[in-house]
Structure formats: structure tokens, C-alpha cells
């Protein structure tokens, strides 16, 4: 069956999505993104990190691309746009997730969450120059309050044995995601979001599986193909690689990159409460205080003109 290669359409205007709907979708994105930490924790019991994520992206991208072809959704019609989607896959999928997986082997989950929360701040600093997005003092204050609240929560849980090298790797992973976000906004590829996501997932999966097969004990019994891994991969493919990534691309298309990324401040907060609910981990009074601080910071960002 031939695939439709219609010319990309213009981006839909931000005004077509009301603030309450945008906020609700952004909250859903942040919550689903946070569940990935729990799913990954189960999956890593049976698989090395790069292989688990590379196999997940390859499987999710392959199935999604097949669906896109069968539904005759628009795919790129020139080599330049195919190449651009490949670059986005390398930065937003392989670079971010691959480097993060390596980094988390040398830092605690709390430290990783704090460092990952610098993503919106770093993006906000470069957005006025690279995306012509207005920053404004209210948005700056809101982001600082949200970030400070996350730091306060995680500081109360901080342990020793942190590796400065692995901390730097988390920041490098953030830079990779920010680069992908900026390129996505600048290139304004108007193709079907599912099609673009499928290509990025495939590129990211291949890029992660190559170093996995070279450096991880995949071929020597390092992967246990049990139901634990099966359920972890299934959830990550459907809810994270498909639903969550599509939500993220949709939010980027409909609003400012810095505003969409502000909701990433909620990820460590959601992670704490999910850990308590699903893994029996304890909650501290500072967790609730920090949650209120993050919510207030996001409120200021959303209210900024």
C-alpha cells in the first residue's frame, strides 16, 4: 500500500487550544512521563539499560510506523525532512534517554531528578535567543520557585556516594533534549505527529542498540526474557513512547517550548508519590510543601504574558 506524502501543513495556532485544556494535557503528560521511572525500575531487573530502551524504541517505532503507513498518514516527501527527523531522533530520543540511563548508574534517583529539573530553566535561558520566545520576569520567578521547591524536596532525601562525572552526564542529557526541542520548534515540520514520532523512535532505537550490543552483556545472557520485562516494555511502548511523546510534540506545536517544559518540574514530585503508592516508599512532610511550591511556580509561568 502506497504511503501518502502530502506536503506538510502549517502549524495550528496556539490560540486554538484554550489555557485550561493546554494545562490539563500538560499535567497528563507530566504524570505519564513520571510513571516511566517506575516501569523502567521493573524492566531493569531483567535487562541492561541501553538494551531495554533501545529495544523499546525500536519496537514502538516500528509498530507505530506500520500503523501510520496503513492509515496513509503524511510522511516526509524529501530527503531534507527525513534527515531532520533523524537528527531529532538522535537528540531527543537516543541522546537524552541513553545518556540518562548511563548517568543514573552513578547518582541517586533524587539527585538525578533535581538535575533533570534544570531542563526547563536551561531551555528558558536560550528560548528568547533561539526561538524568539519572550521570557519576562514573572516566568523567570515562577521557574525559580518551581526549581527551588524541587531542590528542597530532593535535598531532604539526599544521600552520599554521588559521582560528579555522572551528574555532568545528566546535564549533558538535558542539553541533548533541549537541542531536539529547539530544532523541532525552528524547523516547524508540519507532518502528522504520529509519523514524526515513529521515525524519531526508530532512529533512537537503532542508535541505542548499537552501543548496547557492543558494550552490554546482551549476547551472553544479560537479558532475562520474563513477564517482568514483557510488561515493562509493553507499558513503555504504549503509554510512554506513543501517548506521552505524542502529547509532548503536540504541546510543543501548540505553545511556547519553555511553557511546555515547565511541567517537567512536576516529574520528580509525581515520581515520589507514585513510588509511595506503587513501591511502598515513604513520604516526608517536605514532599507536600515542595509540591505546593512547584504548583505555584507553574501557575506563575502559565499566567505570564
- pLDDT tens, 84-99? 999 999 999 999 988 8
**What is residue 153's predicted lDDT score, i.e. its pLDDT?**
79
Neighbours of 68 (CB within 10 A): 22
**What is residue 114's predicted lDDT score, i.e. its pLDDT?**
67
Share of the chain above pLDDT 90, in %: 38
Is residue 9 very low, low, confident or very high in pLDDT (cuts 50, 70, 90)?
A: very low
**What is residue 85's predicted lDDT score, i.e. its pLDDT?**
96
Is residue 227 very low, low, confident or very high in pLDDT (cuts 50, 70, 90)?
A: very high
Instruction: Determine the average pLDDT of the residues in 182-194.
Output: 92
Residue 109 predicted with pLDDT over 70: no
Residue 69 predicted with pLDDT over 90: yes
Instruction: Determine the average pLDDT of the residues in 198-202.
Output: 96
Average model confidence (pLDDT) across the chain: 84
Q: What is the DSSP string of 290-302?
A: HHHHHHHHHHHHH
**What is residue 4's predicted lDDT score, i.e. its pLDDT?**
44
Rounded-to-integer distance, Cα 57 and Cα 205, Å: 5
* Angstrom distances, CA of residue 186 to CA of 9, 70, 129: 15, 29, 12
Which of 76-85, 159-168, 174-183, 228-237 has the least mean pLDDT? Answer: 159-168
Rounded-to-integer distance, Cα 176 and Cα 137, Å: 26
Instruction: Determine the average pLDDT of the residues in 60-79.
Output: 92
pTM over 0.85: no
**What is residue 108's predicted lDDT score, i.e. its pLDDT?**
63
Choose between 63 and 294: higher pLDDT: 63
Amino acid at each position: 500500500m502506497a504511503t501518502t506524502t502530502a506536503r506538510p501543513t502549517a502549524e495550528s495556532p496556539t490560540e486554538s487550544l484554550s489555557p485550561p485544556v493546554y494545562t490539563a494535557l500538560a499535567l497528563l503528560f507530566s504524570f505519564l512521563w513520571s510513571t516511566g521511572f517506575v516501569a523502567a525500575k521493573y524492566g531493569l531487573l531483567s535487562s541492561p539499560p541501553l538494551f531495554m530502551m533501545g529495544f523499546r524504541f525500536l519496537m514502538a517505532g516500528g509498530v507505530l510506523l506500520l500503523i501510520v503507513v496503513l492509515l496513509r498518514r503524511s510522511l516526509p516527501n524529501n530527503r531534507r525532512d527525513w534527515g531532520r527527523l533523524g537528527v531529532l531522533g538522535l537528540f531527543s530520543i537516543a541522546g537524552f534517554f541513553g545518556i540518562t540511563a548511563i548517568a543514573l548508574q552513578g547518582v541517586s534517583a533524587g539527585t538525578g531528578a533535581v538535575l533533570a529539573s534544570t531542563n526547563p530553566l536551561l531551555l528558558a535561558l536560550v528560548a528568547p535567543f533561539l526561538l524568539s520566545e519572550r521570557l519576562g520576569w514573572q516566568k523567570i520567578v515562577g521557574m525559580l520557585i518551581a526549581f527551588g521547591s524541587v531542590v528542597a524536596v530532593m535535598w531532604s532525601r539526599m544521600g552520599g556516594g554521588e559521582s560528579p562525572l555522572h551528574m555532568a552526564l545528566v546535564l549533558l542529557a538535558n542539553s541533548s533534549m533541549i537541542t531536539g526541542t529547539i530544532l523541532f520548534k525552528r524547523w516547524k515540520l508540519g507532518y502528522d505527529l504520529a509519523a514524526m514520532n515513529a521515525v524519531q523512535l526508530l532512529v533512537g532505537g537503532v542508535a541505542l542498540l548499537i552501543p548496547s550490543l557492543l558494550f552490554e552483556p546482551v549476547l551472553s545472557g544479560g537479558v532475562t526474557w520474563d513477564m517482568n520485562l514483557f510488561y515493562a516494555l509493553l507499558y513503555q511502548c504504549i503509554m510512554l513512547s506513543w501517548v506521552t511523546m505524542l502529547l509532548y510534540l503536540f504541546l510543543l506545536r501548540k505553545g511556547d517550548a519553555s511553557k511546555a517544559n515547565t511541567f517537567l518540574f512536576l516529574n520528580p514530585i509525581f515520581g515520589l508519590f507514585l513510588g509511595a503508592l506503587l513501591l511502598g516508599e515513604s513520604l516526608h512532610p517536605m514532599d507536600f510543601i515542595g509540591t505546593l511550591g512547584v504548583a505555584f511556580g507553574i501557575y506563575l509561568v502559565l499566567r505570564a504574558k
